[in-house]
Amino acid sequence: MTVYLAKFELNKKASYKFGHTKYYYANKRFQDQDYKKFDKITILDEIRISEESAQVAREKAKLIEACLLAFFPKNFLLEEFYNTDLGYFNNLSGITEMFVLQEACTEKDVLNVFKAIKTKITQILG
């Protein structure tokens, strides 16, 4: 199981998303043709969870994701932010949790929070 931080770009704007996937490399999660609606999707960082039980790994990933979302909750409507037609992003799995950077927050700040949680999780989980 992998927890990821992804950056989505469209119309010269960027949004971000934390999530989890069964794929070892999170970029595989976005290779579906539907995600071609974005100009670019970049995986900025990943946390790997290894467990004998897939269910335990998934629960740990969801817990990590919930911690990250507490810092950076969804804060916008996709179509409005990207200036697209209403419903443009319908049927894209998992993108409803996206967030945009607020005034005093930079991409570096988001990366630092992710890295700090990744470091602590790695120490705790081994």
Q: What is the pLDDT of residue 106?
A: 95
107-125 and 54-71 are packed helices; what angle lies between their axes, rounded to 10 degrees?
A: 140
**Mean per-residue pLDDT pooled into runs of 10, the chain (126 residues):** 96 94 93 92 96 93 92 88 91 83 92 95 84
**Encoded amino acid at 99, one letter:** F
Task: List C-alpha distances in Å: 21 to 10, 11, 81, 87, 104.
Answer: 23, 26, 25, 24, 30
Q: Where are the domains of the chain?
A: 2-125
Q: What is the pLDDT of residue 94?
A: 79
Q: What is the pLDDT of residue 125?
A: 81
